[in-house]
Every structure is written in structure tokens, then in C-alpha cells.
């Protein structure tokens, strides 16, 4: 998939050329009105499900967290369009899909100047049908699910994806398999055990925090199944 670039006065819009009629207004939740509803779990907020004419979408604005959110909730220091987070994530998703990996289809990404040295950003994606975050999966207690998660993570790692925010809310279970989402600040890099292990350790901490339906013994057993699936896929 190639990208269609629309530049404007202080803004840059990347569009999926396979989707007609995309416009910058689509990246503003107010444009959708009651057709947009907040995502209930995961992230820092700023994400909405959108009931669009072209299907179910996810609109995510890039928000600051922590102390800086009190100063500038949506604005970031502008260092050039080539480094804007929304545009980088859009292009990374394009590449991952070209590699055949299960990630959302990007619809559009917008970066716009909001001041002399700041910018705002947003990305629009197709929603994965019937997908649930790992903690909400009805199959959460099943070893086979965790083995499938491990095998899919191994495939991403083999492709060189360093998912810097790999938590269980970014692992989705859908009828057609396991998907990853939220690739802000992620990148492709040469495979190496150090960063791959860091990804898995981050996910494990998230499982302890978010999978409250599991006892400690269950978590340990199911995590072992994830590692089993991961190792089997690496062989």
C-alpha cells in the first residue's frame, strides 16, 4: 500500500489511497459528533470508536501524560513532519501489513502545527471486528490462547518489531486470531534478545496488573504457556 499525501497550511495529512474521500476533518472527534464514542480501556484517553460510512473506525489523538499533560495536553514540540508520531505510526503500520502481520489498517494520519514550536497529531484506523483486549477475552483461562499469543509475538519479533508499549490491552483476541495495536513510538530494528526480552517483561508486568480474573498460580501457568508458544515459533 502506498500513501497519498495532502499538505496544507501548516499541516500534513497521509491518506490510504484505497479509501476514497478521506479528509482532515475526519481526524477531529467533533466532526463525527454522536457517531464517535470514547474507548473504555487502555491508553491515556483520546481514543474513540467511530461509526463511519466506510465502516467501524478508531480515532486516536496523541495526548501527553504525567506532569506535561497539565501544561499542554495535546501539543508536542515540533521537530519536523518526518518525526511526527502520527505519520511515523501510519507508515510503520503500512510496512507491517506489507509483511503480513496482523495490525489495523491505517486510514489516515494528521500532523498540524498548533503554534510556533508545537504541533498536534491524530491517526485514524479501521477497527478490528469483534476484537477484545486480552484481559476481556472469554478464553482468558485457556492455555491455547496464551500459546497463540506467544507464537504471534514471536512472528512480530522475527520481523524486527520493537513494541515499546507491549501491554495486554494492546494484545487483541479476535475470531480470526491475535492482533497487536498501538504502535506509537514503536520501530523496526534488527532482532536482538535484549529488546525482545524487555518487550516480554513489560507484557508480563501488565498481565499481573490487568488480568485480575486470574489467580497468581493461573498467571504463572498461563505465562509459561505463552513462552512455550513463543519458543516453539522461534524454532
Residues 18-45 have a mean pLDDT of: 87
Name the DSSP class of 104.
P
Listed residue (157, 202, 154, 163) closest to 181, CA to CA: 163
Give the pLDDT of residue 117.
67
Cβ burial of 70 (10 Å; 0-12, 13-18, 19+) is exposed
Residues 214-227 have a mean pLDDT of: 98
Residues 59-84 have a mean pLDDT of: 61
- Please say if the pLDDT value at position 45 is more than 60: no
Q: Are the beta carbons of 225 and 147 closer than 8 angstroms?
A: yes
Q: Residue 47 pairs with which residues in a beta bridge? A: 60
Domain chopping of the chain, boundaries: 4-126, 132-234
Q: Global pTM? A: 0.90
From the CB of residue 234, how many other CB atoms can be counted at a distance below 10 Å?
Answer: 14
Name the DSSP class of 105.
P
Give the pLDDT of residue 66.
40
Give the pLDDT of residue 68.
42
Give the pLDDT of residue 115.
63
Cβ burial of 63 (10 Å; 0-12, 13-18, 19+) is buried
* Top-tier CATH class for 132-234: mainly alpha
What is the tens place of the pLDDT at every residue in 112-165? 877 656 788 999 999 999 999 999 999 999 999 999 999 999 999 999 999 999
What is the tens place of the pLDDT at every residue in 114-129? 765 678 899 999 999 9
Average pLDDT, the chain: 90
Give the pLDDT of residue 46.
82
For the segment(s) 4-126, the CATH number from 1.10.10, 3.30.70, 3.30.200, 1.10.3470 is 3.30.200
* Between 167 and 71, the higher pLDDT residue: 167
Give the pLDDT of residue 72.
42
- In which band, very low, low, confident or very high, does the pLDDT at 207 lie, cut at 50, 70 and 90? very high
- Please say if the pLDDT value at position 44 is more than 70: no
- State the distance between the two ends of the chain, measured CA to CA, in whole angstroms: 31
Instruction: Report, as residue numbers or ranges, the catalytic residues.
Output: 165
- Please say if the pLDDT value at position 69 is more than 50: no
Give the pLDDT of residue 120.
85
- In which band, very low, low, confident or very high, does the pLDDT at 79 lie, cut at 50, 70 and 90? low
- Please say if the pLDDT value at position 227 is more than 50: yes
Amino acid at each position: 500500500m502506498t500513501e497519498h499525501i495532502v499538505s496544507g497550511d501548516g499541516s500534513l495529512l497521509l491518506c490510504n489511497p484505497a479509501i476514497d474521500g478521506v479528509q482532515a476533518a475526519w481526524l477531529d472527534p467533533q466532526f463525527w459528533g454522536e457517531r464517535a464514542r470514547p474507548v473504555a480501556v487502555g491508553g491515556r484517553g483520546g481514543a474513540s470508536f467511530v461509526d463511519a460510512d466506510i465502516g467501524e473506525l478508531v480515532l486516536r489523538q496523541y495526548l501527553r501524560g504525567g506532569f506535561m499533560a497539565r501544561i499542554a495536553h495535546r501539543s508536542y514540540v515540533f521537530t519536523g513532519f518526518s518525526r511526527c508520531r502520527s505519520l511515523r505510526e501510519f507508515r510503520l503500520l503500512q510496512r507491517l501489513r506489507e509483511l503480513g502481520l496482523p495490525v489495523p489498517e491505517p486510514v489516515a494520519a494528521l500532523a498540524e502545527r498548533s503554534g510556533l514550536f508545537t504541533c498536534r497529531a491524530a491517526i485514524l484506523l479501521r477497527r478490528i471486528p469483534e476484537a477484545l483486549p486480552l484481559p476481556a477475552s472469554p478464553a482468558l483461562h485457556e492455555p491455547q490462547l496464551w500459546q497463540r499469543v506467544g507464537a504471534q509475538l514471536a512472528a512480530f519479533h522475527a520481523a524486527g518489531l520493537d513494541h515499546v508499549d507491549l501491554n495486554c490491552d494492546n494484545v487483541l483476541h479476535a475470531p480470526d486470531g491475535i492482533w497487536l495495536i498501538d504502535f506509537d513510538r514503536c520501530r523496526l530494528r534488527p532482532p536482538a534478545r535484549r529488546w525482545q526480552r524487555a518487550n516480554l517483561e513489560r507484557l508480563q508486568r501488565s498481565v499481573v496488573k490487568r488480568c485480575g480474573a486470574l489467580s497468581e498460580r493461573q498467571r504463572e501457568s498461563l505465562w509459561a504457556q505463552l513462552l512455550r508458544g513463543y519458543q516453539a515459533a522461534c524454532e
